Structure 1
Amino acid sequence: MSDRVDVGIDRILVPLDGHEAAASALDHAITLAENVDAGIHLLSVVDAYRLKSVDQRRSIEAELEDVIADAAAAVQTAEIPVTTAVEVGFPHKEILNAVADHDADLIAMGTRGRTGLDRHLLGSVAEKVVRLSTVPVLTVGDDAVGTRPYRNILVPTDGSDAAQPAERLGIALAGRFGATVHALSVVPELRIGSRETEDAYEAASRDAIERMKEHGGENTDIRGGIEHGVPHRTILDHCDAVDADLIVLGTHGRTGVERFVLGSVAEKVVRLAERPVLVVPARTGGGTD
């Protein structure tokens, strides 16, 4: 096991709001920090949009300071370096600002379930952060399944340049955890398309799987597969088939063969997955070199 592989994660940002899902995200952040030798920065945001009075602000700040204090105690118990902050502003903006201010390499956030209005973290904050973040974002639902430390990591890929940072980070994390990487490339069902287009998808899928196996070398167990279907549904079904503890996938693609695990597919997986999902932007420092 290449347990000293450089993952490129030195500080993890964990936004907290007192909800159970955020506590689950903290648990995963602690597990990651323990295995990649990272520190944790805890952040709670008083939503400026919802404030009606100074007294309300003070009351919410006091509640969040208690949440932060309890979380910091849990991090310290794990002997992980921790810093804390309570800010006032618009949540997704304060979270993204904190990435720059505290040199965070990864954000770990909770989501509140998979149905109705509760499928979004702090309203629409999670989706905004996933779309706008320049660093990987781990989303964890309060109903998330899987085990920690991770033993099975699913890495969907479409063979594009945009997917490569996710491929490399997934492999690097597997090295730290001694986990198996399940590489998956989905050839999407084409309602309108030529045989040449399908062949291009097939070729890109084969190349992506082989590239991941070469990158993992002899020290990482990488098992690859190519499937046909609707990308996000196939990814979710494959999670159950391999009993994945974590999904690592890319976003921000372009067009044609390179658009598969990108944009809306990543967002659908984040919304619907019963497993933690780590979304990796195309340009990121975490595990990409």
Structure 2
Amino acid sequence: MSKILIACDDSPGSLRGLAYLISKIQAGREKAELHIVNVQYPLHGGVSSFISAAQIKELHQEDGAKALAGARKLLDEAGIPYQAHVFVGEPAEVMARYANEQGFDEIVMGTRGQNKISTMLLGSVSLKLLNLAKVPVLLVK
């Protein structure tokens, strides 16, 4: 059984990546332990002067839960078990470190729709993740 990390931010691209993986699982081509992951960027600019660390943590968890809502719905409707995680940091670095440390076999990430110019370059998170991860990264368009 593969251990797969799925990057989720509730964008159409991330949900396409998850839908692709769900279709493989439902077709019997994949047996997997799924972990859906959302990484929240840290708050900057002196925010901690106005709200407590506990409030910041709660805000990140709430925003992360909202970002995972669409993925949870798809997986629940498909009857596929999963674990959900919300982290704070630079997304590519956090996901690569988590995947490397926790022994994941693969990372799945949807890509966003891009115009002709930007399709020549991958998004910055995708590109960083490809460079930092020690496991295969599947980008789904």
Listed as ranges, the matches of 1:94-105 within 5 Å are 94-105=94-105
Identity %: 26
- Which aligned segments of 4 or more residues in structure 1 are displaced greater than 2 angstroms? 31-35, 50-61, 100-103, 113-121
Distance 1:82 1:105 in 2: 15
Equivalence for 1:82: 82
Amino acid at match of 1:127: L
Q: Determine which of 38, 41, 45 is the counterpart of 1:44.
A: 38
Equivalence for 1:250: none
Cα distance, 1:101 vs structure 2: 4.1
Cα distance, 1:126 vs structure 2: 0.3
* 2:20 counterpart of 1:28: yes
Equivalence for 2:93: 93
Give the aligned length. 130
Amino acid at match of 1:44: N
Q: What secondary structure sits across from 1:128 in the alignment? A: helix
Amino acid at match of 1:42: I
Q: TM-score, normalised by structure 2?
A: 0.76
Amino acid at match of 2:107: I
Amino acid at match of 1:16: C
Cα distance, 1:134 vs structure 2: 1.8
Q: CA deviation digits over 1:168-208, x for unaligned, max 9?
A: xxxxxxxxxxxxxxxxxxxxxxxxxxxxxxxxxxxxxxxxx
Cα distance, 1:110 vs structure 2: 1.6
Q: What secondary structure sits across from 1:28 in the alignment? A: helix
Distance 2:10 2:74 in 1: 14
Distance 2:73 2:66 in 1: 11
Greater relative contact order (Cα < 8 A, sep 6+): 2
Residues 45 and 88 of structure 1 are in contact (CA less than 8 Å); yes or no, is this contact kept in structure 2?
A: yes
Amino acid at match of 1:90: E
RMSD in angstroms over aligned alpha carbons?
2.5
Cα distance, 1:117 vs structure 2: 5.0
Residues 5 and 35 of structure 2 are in contact (CA less than 8 Å); yes or no, is this contact kept in structure 1?
A: yes
Amino acid at match of 2:134: T
Amino acid at match of 1:126: S
Q: Check 1:96–1:33 CA distance in 2 against 1; reply closer, same or farther (3 A cut).
A: farther
Q: Check 1:86–1:77 CA distance in 2 against 1; reply closer, same or farther (3 A cut).
A: same
Distance 1:84 1:47 in 2: 17
Equivalence for 1:12: 4
